[in-house]
Structure formats: C-alpha cells, structure tokens
Chain A
Amino acid sequence: MSSPIIWVIFPFVIGMLVLVLRRFEPFTHVISIVFTLLLAYLAWSLPFDESITLIPLPQVPSIRIDETLFFFGRRFILDDSARPALILIYLGISLWFGGAYLARVNQFFVPLGLWIAALLTASLAVEPFLYAAIMILGVALLCVPILKPPGKPVSSGVMRFLKFQTIGMPIILIGGRLLSDVEINPTDIQFALRVTLIIGLGFAFITAIFPFHAWIPMVAESSHPYASAFVFFLFPATVSLLSVNYIEGYRTTGIPVKAGEVFRFIGVIMILIGGFMAVFERHLARIMGYAAIYEIGMALLALSLVADTQLISSSIGLYFAQQVPRALGLAIWALALCFMLGKTGDLKLTSVRGYARKMPIISTSLVLSTFTIAGLPILAGFPVNIALWTDLVHAAPLVVLLGLLGTTGLLAAGIRMMAVLVQNEKGDEDWEINESFPEIIFLTGGWIMLVVTGLLPQLFIPILTNMAIIHMTPVK
C-alpha cells in the first residue's frame, strides 16, 4: 500500500460509488463528509514508511504505507511535506460538502467533488510537477457538470471557463518543460524571460487573472451560487499552490526574475477590478464573483512576498492563512445566496429591496461575508489582511494604497447591499424572522465562526503557518 493509493485512488473509488448512489441524499453527503474527514485525519496522523499494526493480533499482519507510487515510469509521491496540503484539501472539501445538502446543489456535486479532491492530490504528488497542469485541466472538466447541472441551458460563462482552462493547460505544460532547460543553462537570460512569460500566461488563463477573469462574474450569475463559490475558492487556492513550485524552480536556477513585482502589479489590478466592479454591480451573485476576483488579487499579493523572500517557508504562512477566511466568507456568502434564491427566485438588487425585514438572518449573512472578504475588523479576514498590508507596506507602499482603494470599493458594495436590503419603501414594514430552523442554525453558526476566527486569529494562523513550513520543507 502506498500513500497515493489512500489519497488519490480511494477518493476516486468512493466518488464512483457515490455517483451511482447519488439519489440517496443525504446518505451520500454524510458518507462523503465522514470519508473526507477521515482522510484529513489520516493525513494528520498516519505514519509513512513504518509498520502499522491495524489489529493487535499475531494472525493479522501489519501494513506499511510507502510514500511513492510508480505509474507509467513516473512517480507519485505523498511524503510528510504533503501532509498540510492533504489536510487542507480534504478538510476544505468536507466543509463544502457540509453545506451542499442545505444549499440544494445538484447531485453531481459530491461525487465530482471527491474526484476533484483526488485529482488535486494527484497534481501535488506527480513528479515532475509540471504534469500537474494536465490534472488541473481534469479538475476544470469535472467542474463543468457542477457549474452546469442537467436540465439547465449552457451559459457562455461556463463555456468561457472551459476554454480558458483548456488553453492554459498546454501553455503551463510547455513552460514547465522549458523551465527545466532554463535550469540546465541559466546564463541565457532572454530564453529564461520567454519561458517566464509562457508560464505566466498559462497561470493567467487558469487562475482567471486579468484579462482572463471575465468568466467569474458570468459563471456567478448563471450557475448555482454554492457551486460557483466552490469553484472560485478551489481554483485560485490550488493553482497558486502549484505556482509556488514554479517559483521554487526559478530560485534553483538563480535567475533574477522579478516575480514579486509582477505578482504585485497583477494582484493590485485584480483587487481594483474586483472592488470597483462590485460597487457598480446590481446582481448579488455577480458581486460575489467580483469578491472572488478581489481574493485572487489578495492571494497574488501574498505570493509576491513569497517570490521576494529567499526563504520561501518563512513567508508562505500568510498565503496558507488566507485560505480560512476565504473559505468561510465565500461558503457563507454562497449559502445565503442559495437560501435567498430559493425564496425570491432572483438575485438582482431590485428584487431584494427590503428583504432584510423579512429574512434578517440571510441578509445579515450576506453583508457579514462581504465585510469578511473585505477584511473589516473583528471578522475573519481582518487579521490576515492587516498582516498582508503590514508586510507589503515596506516593499511597495503604492501597492498598499491602491489595494486599500480596491478594498474600499468592496466595502462600499457591502454597504450598498445593506442599504438596499433594509430599505423600507412603504414605511410600515416590521422586522420578523422567517428563515427555517436549519437555515438559522447554519448561518448563525457561520457568523460565530467568522467572529471567532477574526477575534482569535491565534487559533488558526500559527497552525497554518506551521503547515506551510512543513509543506515547503523538502523531506530528506
């Protein structure tokens, strides 16, 4: 038995089983949540390359989990350094599965989510890592049925998503292969720059970086909010983790590629686009899409610190720490949108005027999650955002200024949303709670998580920083 079999093959097999049994909800949801939590726990505790006694009986032989799986002459390695990423992937997926039943996402969500987790793990395990690009394309292809479930018309946003992901894969694959030539001959700066451009273009396509970001609001508008938030969280998180490997690849060549400056430049553009487009947007799901664009910018700014530092492990902690408020913010936002969509059938601002007076819990969740992404104090995004701005202000004060300008845009969008939701046109509307009990439980639970992680960042930031250090430390 090897570790890739546990974290790649098993989820794939269980996913297939869940696909067959998909009509038996919520049984499939419970099974998948338990299974992904178990995999996250095993990633935390299961020793590699040691004999493990499953049952303490002399008749039952002990098993040994190897770190490497050989496949078609290549290696898939999941060693101790992969544990943090495994925990993040499977814990993250279980969190999204947790809300999926209540959000009434289509029945493909859970089985395909398990396959996506398996492919993401395979992309982290494959050596050489440039082959991961093909697996990321596999993830993108699996996202299509999630975004566009059966019985719904094909939207141009989903088609654009499919096109960009398919174009990005070959570009990254070629760039990654050429990067190994750069490592052989690092003196050819012109060639190295061309390779950098190729890799950058590939990542721009896949992570929806300007000017290839247009599919995000389109998908947000036309797809199920929970499914689209899942994709918005998943892609930047995992693909930028992959990009860290490329940054490391450049570092070994010794070529002075100013990746930090490039990341900062693109990052701030994304933040400005996300922030300012959100202000003028009139569709609640599209505002979430622009918030996702804003978050991609924030991730790029965190990666710019990674690219600037000689010792990656010291600065990648911030990037890892961003994932918690991002996942919480987007999940609660999407859940609230799903409940709202179920009741109003429309997410245009004009259709939800005064909605907070009838559904205050849902409305408060929407506003709180917007403010979380924007990094308002006492909410989950604040400690991470303030740490990022503090670290950046020495290296690039102008970037911080522009970034805060974009953040103001997102905050303004949240305030505008709040103003519309509490509007009292007739002047005689009373406040009442009309949400169902599960909706109240899930959403108020989300508020508590947002506030607790905002007030007590020491609960998650040190753990994630340690995980980041383990992830970036090669196993001897």
Chain B
Amino acid sequence: MELIFPGLLSIALLLFTSIFLLISRDWRLSLLALAMQYIPVFLLVSQLWPVQMALVKVIAGWISCLLLGIGAVNLPGYNLRIRIPFRKRDKPGIEFHSDSNTARLSRTKAPLGNYFTFFAAGTVFLAAVAIAFRISSTTGEAYIYPVLGGITLIGMGLLQIGFTDEPLYTSIGLLTITAGFEIIYALIDSSILVAGLLAGANLGIAMIGTYLLAAPQMEDQI
C-alpha cells in the first residue's frame, strides 16, 4: 500500500503533465508542466534509488526548464499573451504571429487538432500499460509503476517530437523521453556516474534547445 499510493499519484501526475505538454501552445505553461513532470519522475525513481540520488533528476530537470525559460524570455519581442487551449477559435494548422520570435515559441497544432492528440496519447498510454504489465511479470510487481511511468513518458515524448519541429517543443519532447528512460534505467543500474552523466545530458539538451531558440537572432559569426 505504501508503494501503491505514490505510484498511482505519480502516474496520474505524469499523465496529466505529459498530455498537457502535447496540447499546450503557451511556452510558459508548457515549461511549468515540464517542471511539474519531474516531481512524479522523482517519486518513481526514489522507489528504486536513494532519495538523495533521485533528487538529482528533479534538480537537473528544473535547471533544464529554467534554461529553456531563460532562452525564451530573452528572445526580443516575445508574446506575453497566454493562449488557453480548447478555445473555439483554435483551428487546426499553423498559428500565425506578427513577429518571428513569437512564432518560434509557439507551435503547429497536431494534424487533426486536439482530439487526435488525445486519441494518440490514449493509445500510447494503453500500449504503455500493456508493456508495463508484461515487463513487470519478469521484474516483479513492485516495479510496475516505475515501468509504466517510464514507458508512458517515452511514448508521450515520441508523440511530442513527432508533432513538431520547433526548437522549444522538440527540446521538451526530448527531455520527456530522457526522463522516461531515466526511470526505466534506474531499475537496472544505480551508478552515480550514470546519474551524473544523464543529468549532464538533460542540461545539454536544454542548452541546445536554448541555443536553437536564440541562434537565428544571434550575430552571424562569419
């Protein structure tokens, strides 16, 4: 019972944040959701690793969010409006903005709109449940939540990067995939070096995301 509660809570939180990341088109809310996503990641990893090592995940994740946020804020002329998803006038397709910086922070919607995104996310989650049950039959039932959480995040991250080519949302998708993988990998290895290297990989992805956001505005070097 001790394990079930944080496990279920973590899965519910993961589902909420990862689906929100798929449909959100406001970069601040997306980064907030990404930061929130690292809390269940921490809860799930802390079932497998010592708490102080699991904390590395959440700290590295939050720093990554911060890096992406700094990159977005520093773009000149970024849009302050918060666009709430599911408004009636949100039409599928590319959202046009008056300046190129805002366009770089926003993203195209899923090909068939939010309903398609929900359907795809639901399919991914169902597949994750099936895979998690299958894997947990060999690893033991105690690990079902970390496995389910990890596979769900990997699937949602893949959906995310499949839907978009924008630097910010691609970075968010890649960080989601890495977070999911980190939960799975925590099941099979508890090396401090790996924890450090993966934290470095997270920061690296965030830094490159920030660079890609800012690069078109930067001075041409040659």
A residues engaging B (CB < 8 A)?
A: 22, 71-74, 104-108, 131, 134-135, 137-138, 141, 144-145, 148-154, 156, 158-159, 162-163, 166-167, 169-170, 173-174, 177-178
Contact = CB atoms under 8 A, between A and B. Distances in A.
B85 interface: no
B219 A170 contact: no
B60 to A, nearest CB: 13
Nearest to B180: A170
Given A144-B211, A152-B216, A162 B174 contact: yes
B72 interface: no
Main secondary structure on B side of the interface with A: helix
A11 to B, nearest CB: 17
B98 interface: no
Interface in B140-165: 158, 161, 165
Nearest to A155: B165
Give 3 closest A-B pairs by Cβ, nearest first: A151-B220, A150-B218, A170-B181
B129 interface: no
Given A104-B222, A144-B212, A166 B185 contact: no
Given A72-B196, A138-B204, A169-B201, A177 B188 contact: yes
B138 to A, nearest CB: 9
B184 A174 contact: yes
B7 interface: no
A149 B181 contact: no
B208 A141 contact: yes
B167 interface: yes
A4 B92 CA distance: 53
A170 B177 contact: yes
Contacts of B165: 154, 156, 159
B167 A159 contact: yes
A134 B222 contact: no
A175 B185 CA distance: 10
A342 B175 CA distance: 38
Given A134-B200, A144-B212, A166-B178, 8 more contacts: A107-B221, A107-B222, A141-B204, A141-B205, A151-B219, A170-B178, A170-B181, A178-B188
B197 interface: yes
B189 interface: yes
A457 B34 CA distance: 55
Contacts of A105: 222
A166 B205 CA distance: 8
B167 A134 contact: no
Contacts of B189: 177
A73 B222 CA distance: 43
Given A144-B208, A166-B177, A174-B181, A152 B196 contact: no
Contacts of B184: 170, 174
A74 B193 contact: yes
Interface in B170-192: 170, 173-174, 177-178, 181, 184-185, 188-189, 191-192
Contacts of A169: 201
Contacts, number: 104
Nearest to B182: A170
Nearest to A166: B174
Contacts of B161: 163
Contacts of A74: 191, 193
29 contacts: A22-B221, A73-B193, A104-B222, A107-B222, A108-B221, A131-B193, A134-B197, A134-B201, A137-B204, A138-B201, A144-B208, A144-B212, A145-B211, A149-B215, A149-B220, A149-B222, A152-B216, A153-B216, A154-B215, A158-B212, A159-B212, A162-B170, A162-B174, A162-B208, A163-B170, A170-B184, A173-B185, A177-B185, A178-B188
B174 A149 contact: no
A150 B197 contact: no
B199 to A, nearest CB: 10
B215 A152 contact: yes
B111 to A, nearest CB: 16
Contacts of B221: 22, 106-108, 149-151
Contacts of A107: 221-222
Contacts of A156: 165
Given A137-B201, A149-B215, A174-B185, A72 B222 contact: no
A256 B188 CA distance: 25
Contacts of B188: 174, 177-178
Nearest to B162: A163
Contact of A150 (B173, B200, B207, B220): B220
Nearest to B157: A167
A134 B198 contact: yes
Contacts of B3: none
B70 interface: no
B218 to A, nearest CB: 3
A73 B174 CA distance: 28
Contacts of B219: 150-151
Contacts of A151: 215-216, 218-221
Contacts of B126: none
B47 to A, nearest CB: 19
Contacts of A135: 197
A135 B201 CA distance: 8
Given A134-B194, A148-B212, A167 B177 contact: yes
Nearest to A25: B222
A72 B204 contact: no
Contacts of B212: 144, 148, 154, 158-159
B75 to A, nearest CB: 13
B152 to A, nearest CB: 15
A461 to B, nearest CB: 37
A471 B201 CA distance: 28
B140 to A, nearest CB: 15
A158 B208 CA distance: 11
A148 B218 CA distance: 12
